[in-house]
Amino acid sequence: MDRPYGKLAMNSFQNILIWATVAVIAYGILGGVLALRAIFVDRDKSYRLKREEFLDLKRQAEKQIKKRDKDEK
């Protein structure tokens, strides 16, 4: 016995499966791109921030040393 409705359902199941998998692949690509950005861009940003923080602390320490030397004199 022919089952056209069953065949139709199977075809739409195949289409849903294919498009859902394509969407998952696209989402995976998005995740990969974001992770690459986190590896290369955000790391540089945090490095720059840490360096600025370090230079600021260094400047403060130098100022304090100069002040202490002046007081000792």
Give the residues lining the site for other proteins (CB under 8 A): 14, 17-18, 20-22, 24-25, 27-32, 34-39, 43, 46
Q: What is the DSSP letter of 41?
A: I
Q: CB 36 → other proteins: shortest distance, Å?
A: 6
User: Which residue, 46 or 60, is less far from other proteins as judged by CB?
Assistant: 46
Alpha-carbon span 46 to 52, nearest angstrom: 10
Tokens describing residue 36: 């690459």
Toward other proteins, which CB reaches closer, 3 or 73?
3
Shortest reach from residue 64's CB to other proteins, in Å: 25
Which one, 25 or 57, has the nearer CB to other proteins?
Answer: 25
Residue spans of beta strands (DSSP E) within the chain: none
Rounded Cα–Cα distance for residues 47 and 32 (Å): 22
